[in-house]
Structure 1
Amino acid sequence: MKRLQCPCCEYFTVESNDEVIVDICDVCFWQYDAVAHDQPDRNIGANHISLTQARKNYKEYGVCKQKFKAMVREPLDIEQQYNQN
Structure 2
Amino acid sequence: MNNYKLIFLPQVGDSSYMEDVLTTRDEIQEKYPCPCCEKNTIPNRGDALAYICPVCLWEIDLFLRTEDEPSDQNHGLTLNEARNNYKIHGVVLPALKKYSRLNEDTEYNEKG
Q: Quote the RMSD (CA, aligned, Å).
A: 2.0
2:54 maps to which of 20, 23, 26 = 26
What is the correspondence of 1:24-63 to structure 2 with a 5 Å cutoff?
24-36=52-64, 38-48=65-75, 49-63=77-91
Aligned-residue sequence identity (percent) comes to 33
Paired AA for residue 56 in structure 1: N
When residues 39 and 73 of structure 1 are mapped into structure 2, their CA distance, relative to the original with a 3 A threshold, is same
Where does structure 1 lack aligned partners over 5 or more consecutive residues?
none
Bigger shift: 4-13 or 15-24? 15-24
Please list the CA deviations of residues 34-69 of structure 1 after superposition, one character each: whole Å capped at 9, or x if unmatched.
Answer: 223x31112133112110100000000000011100
Where does structure 2 lack aligned partners over 5 or more consecutive residues?
1-27
Moved over 3 A (4+): 17-20
Aligned pairs, number: 81
- Rg comparison, structure with higher value: 2
The whole-number CA distance in structure 1 between the counterparts of 2:68 and 2:46 is: 26
When residues 57 and 34 of structure 1 are mapped into structure 2, their CA distance, relative to the original with a 3 A threshold, is same
Q: 2:33: which partner in 1? A: 5
Say which structure, 1 or 2, has more relative contact order (CA 8 Å, 6+ apart).
1
TM-score, normalised relative to structure 1: 0.82
